[in-house]
Chain A
């Protein structure tokens, strides 16, 4: 069976990463920004899995790291959503442009 080469998977994860970055920088809705962050994290996960699988197939380290990242992403999402709810209560909006009081 023809194996998919490593570079293909890296291209996918890079694309995913930059889609996330693009979303983070351009979206105004905080929920969408959060989703972009999840995309970035998942691209990193993909990298871990791919490198582990292709370079050190007999070691499980990369898998464990991706499991950790998934757990941390869940926790981060919980915290971020709590913050967003709080912001909404305060500003009656979840537009990131409105939360700009921490400035000079």
Chain B
């Protein structure tokens, strides 16, 4: 494999962004869509060849996949020891991520060519999508933690731009700002974590950092483990802070508040960024530093596990009560990422104990396909009924037969019904949790039952239930070919991705890991999922009054879940009532009166002085000559005085 393919991987989407961003307005919209899609298609082929080369030809050394750095140059030599490199880093994790990002991105591009038709800023949309793909690929193949931070911020920016794509809608603008501020706030933790880790390990490169902080008895590890703050070691602090950054991007509790609002963006964006790729960057980050977490600091890994498990359950409960189709999907994304997080959290390093690691990334892999499919299907539905509300939908299976089937497949996959993709990955996660932590296991079982329930609540409410008259009349029929095409490709992924022998490729130590399949173990989760589906079917297949009665029966609890457990309100209270009131206002007063006051006084003095002396510059020649002469006489007098003294 030549390096050139790796460069191509970044240059093609970057070229797409630059060309469409600069010249997008001048070329016909159809061409700009095709151009952007072709660039991503090229990137997809390049990433396929990289992954093929890595997995099949050159990646294995002594039966284990090891990481390779095919290209690296020194960017900033800060000190003799600490230099910042820019480079490419290929290991099973990044090769797998390359495939996921480029394939979902390609499908979303194809879908958007039809979905965004007639949009005024069509080419801008594709430019932003290319920017996002570029930054996500850069994030995935970063060779050091500083480079990952650069691309981390870049995906944040492109997410901001795309959420606020409909910038004439105040809600979209607010959502974009919220997403940016919340993730940026979390990135502060990430940055401090980077500084801590690089300070203690004296390097930023992943390979060196991991080896220095995991080798028992290394002076770096000893230093990091003994230095402490508030009774917690510096290593734990660093890893937890890095996890905060990951939690912000991956919408883990309590930094999840931006994700549901981010659904204000166009639906393909939600599919690409807020379901399949960017939001799993946090999982990727933890997996990237996994040896350090697992070998040197199990406490930080526990934080990951419990945050993930709580977020999974929390989001699943909220998802059952939401009525906006995209918000249900957003909470389901959060819940599934929670699954990936706690799978990492319960995992150990190496051999059989590394099952959770493989399971987490396996779920990341399958989730990308079926969740992107769910979002794109939701996009078709929204196109058909021009509304996001479940109550405006119903009975669409006759209008949208292909979408109906694709959506059903994706729902089955996410609910973990065999033999669809989600079954395999979720089963592996449950197995890993079962082996290592029973509390997390039971939370996961309940969550997966809830998952099946709310997904099929969505499915039955959209495609069965009562048909609304206005839908019948307008009757768009099935979506355009390009949209259906990408739905079908992703549906193939949602069905077949689970059959990939994932453990052969990705594991915590690079060795081959056989994923266990125990029929008797699967009975409980699958049975609960089917129960959830049946319950949803009873409630939502036909229009009934039962759901309303049940939700009324839950009373306050239902109310709280419907209002997302008032997390947004708590944030509002903390920011508006506490921070603005007690920090913001005094700071503003200080700024206005002390800082500005000082400057204003200085400026006023200068102004008064210059006004009073400005009369000297009269424009008349002879007074000038007089001043000059006076000056000369003054100097002469001074000189004589000093001379003769």
* In the complex, B620 has a CB within 8 A of chain A: yes
CB distance from B420 to the nearest CB of A (A): 84
Residue-wise interface mask of A (82-104) relative to B, using a CB-CB cutoff of 8 A (1 in contact, 0 not): 00000000000000110111111
* In the complex, A21 has a CB within 8 A of chain B: yes
- B:588-645 near A, CB below 8 Å: 614-615, 617-622, 625-626, 629
Partner of B625 from the list A25, A100, A102, A104 (CB cut-off 8 Å) is A25
A21 with B619: CB separation less than 8 A:
no
A104 with B615: CB separation less than 8 A:
yes
| Complex Cα spacing A102 to B629, Å | 20
- A:27-58 near B, CB below 8 Å: 33
CB distance from B613 to the nearest CB of A (A): 9
| Complex Cα spacing A96 to B619, Å | 10
B619 with A100: CB separation less than 8 A:
yes
B622 with A103: CB separation less than 8 A:
no
Q: Whose C-beta in chain A lies nearest to the C-beta of B623?
A: A25
**Chain A hits for B617, CB < 8 A:** 103-104
A25 with B626: CB separation less than 8 A:
yes
| Complex Cα spacing A99 to B624, Å | 13
**Chain A hits for B614, CB < 8 A:** 104
CB distance from A61 to the nearest CB of B (A): 25
B619 with A24: CB separation less than 8 A:
no
Q: Whose C-beta in chain B lies nearest to the C-beta of A100?
A: B619
Partner of A25 from the list B615, B618, B619, B629 (CB cut-off 8 Å) is B629
**Chain B hits for A96, CB < 8 A:** 620-622
**Chain B hits for A26, CB < 8 A:** 622
Kindly state the interface size class of chain A when it binds its partner: 10 to 19
| Complex Cα spacing A3 to B482, Å | 116
Q: Whose C-beta in chain B lies nearest to the C-beta of A99?
A: B621
| Complex Cα spacing A33 to B625, Å | 11
| Complex Cα spacing A75 to B614, Å | 34
Q: Whose C-beta in chain B lies nearest to the C-beta of A101?
A: B619
B625 with A24: CB separation less than 8 A:
yes
**Chain A hits for B629, CB < 8 A:** 21, 25
**Chain B hits for A25, CB < 8 A:** 622, 625-626, 629
- B:453-468 near A, CB below 8 Å: none
B622 with A102: CB separation less than 8 A:
no
| Complex Cα spacing A38 to B619, Å | 23
**Chain A hits for B620, CB < 8 A:** 96-97, 100, 103
Q: Whose C-beta in chain A lies nearest to the C-beta of B610?
A: A104
| Complex Cα spacing A60 to B591, Å | 71
**Chain A hits for B626, CB < 8 A:** 25
**Chain B hits for A97, CB < 8 A:** 620
| Complex Cα spacing A101 to B626, Å | 19
B625 with A103: CB separation less than 8 A:
no
**Chain B hits for A103, CB < 8 A:** 617-620
CB distance from A5 to the nearest CB of B (A): 23
**Chain B hits for A21, CB < 8 A:** 629
CB distance from A91 to the nearest CB of B (A): 13
**Chain A hits for B621, CB < 8 A:** 33, 96, 99-100
CB distance from A59 to the nearest CB of B (A): 27
CB distance from B22 to the nearest CB of A (A): 47
| Complex Cα spacing A96 to B624, Å | 12
Q: Whose C-beta in chain B lies nearest to the C-beta of A24?
A: B625
CB distance from A23 to the nearest CB of B (A): 11
CB distance from B359 to the nearest CB of A (A): 80
**Chain B hits for A102, CB < 8 A:** 619
| Complex Cα spacing A22 to B66, Å | 95
CB distance from B614 to the nearest CB of A (A): 4
Given A25-B622, A97-B620, A100-B618: 5 more A-B contacts, CB < 8 Å: A25-B629, A100-B620, A100-B621, A103-B617, A104-B617
Q: Which residues of B contact A (CB under 8 A)?
A: 614-615, 617-622, 625-626, 629
Q: List 15 A-B contacts (CB under 8 A).
A: A21-B629, A24-B622, A25-B622, A25-B626, A25-B629, A26-B622, A33-B621, A96-B620, A100-B618, A100-B620, A102-B619, A103-B619, A104-B614, A104-B617, A104-B618
Task: List 6 tightest A-B contacts by C-beta distance, closest first.
Answer: A103-B619, A100-B619, A104-B617, A104-B614, A102-B619, A100-B620
